[in-house]
Amino acid sequence: MKKMLLALVVCALTATVCVAKESDAETKADVAKHRAMAAAHLAAAQCRESGKDEDLCNKELQAACKGLAIGKFCGMKHEH
């Protein structure tokens, strides 16, 4: 019983390590996506600072993030 439990724990830990590890290329791609999302959000903030309507700025944000993030607010929404 103890050997079986130990084997299950070892398998679970090995699977966790294998799943969590990503390649350098995947890391670089992830970083690039985060930078692109950050740039889109910065542009949205500058749009709002300029006095433009929130709906217009949100449409620009959606266009900038198309295919980049999940959701209509580029993967990020805060309360209003």
Write down the domain spans for the chain. 32-73
Instruction: State the DSSP code for 79.
Output: -
Q: What is the DSSP string of 15-41?
A: HHHHHH---HHHHHHHHHHHHHHHHHH
**Would the pLDDT of 8 be above 90?**
no
Distance CA 44, CA 41 (A): 5
Average pLDDT, the chain: 81
User: Which pLDDT does position 74 carry in this prediction?
Assistant: 82
Burial (CB count <10 Å: 0-12, 13-18, 19+), residue 65? buried
Tell me the per-residue pLDDT of 10-40, one tens digit each, with 9 for 90 and over: 666 565 555 567 899 999 999 999 999 999 9
Of residues 60 and 7, more confidence is placed in 60
At 61 the three-state DSSP class reads helix
**Would the pLDDT of 71 be above 70?**
yes
pTM: 0.65
